[in-house]
Amino acid sequence: MSETIEQPRRTGLLVWLILSQALAVASLLIWFVGAGMSMMSVGADGDLPAWVLAIWCYPIFPLGMSIASWIAYNRRKNRLAAILSGLSFAPIILFFLIINLG
């Protein structure tokens, strides 16, 4: 009566999560340079343009998506974990689409 249901292997998902986390860290290294350079656009009176604030808020999104994807992975919500992990690249992809199409 003590049948154990074998869970499907999740090694592919685990590899994707680790790979996406490494790419997110790499994007943060590039972001650090851009964020430092964006501070040069602050006016003499201390005005901070809205796009500078958007650049400085960028790390919140990948960090939140990474945490949520690992929580979903731990709760065995595999599809949600894969989607959330992929969403951490949405701002970068949107940025490059706007630059290339605009």
Domain chopping of the chain, boundaries: 15-39+49-101
pTM, entire model? 0.77
How is 1-55 classified by DSSP, letter by letter?
----PPPPP-HHHHHHHHHHHHHHHHHHHHHHHHHHHHGGG--TT----HHHHHH
pLDDT band at 18 (very low <50, low <70, confident <90, very high): very high
pLDDT at 76 (0 to 100): 93
The predicted model gives 19-26 an average pLDDT of 90
> What pLDDT sits at residue 1?
56
pLDDT at residue 36 is higher than 80: yes
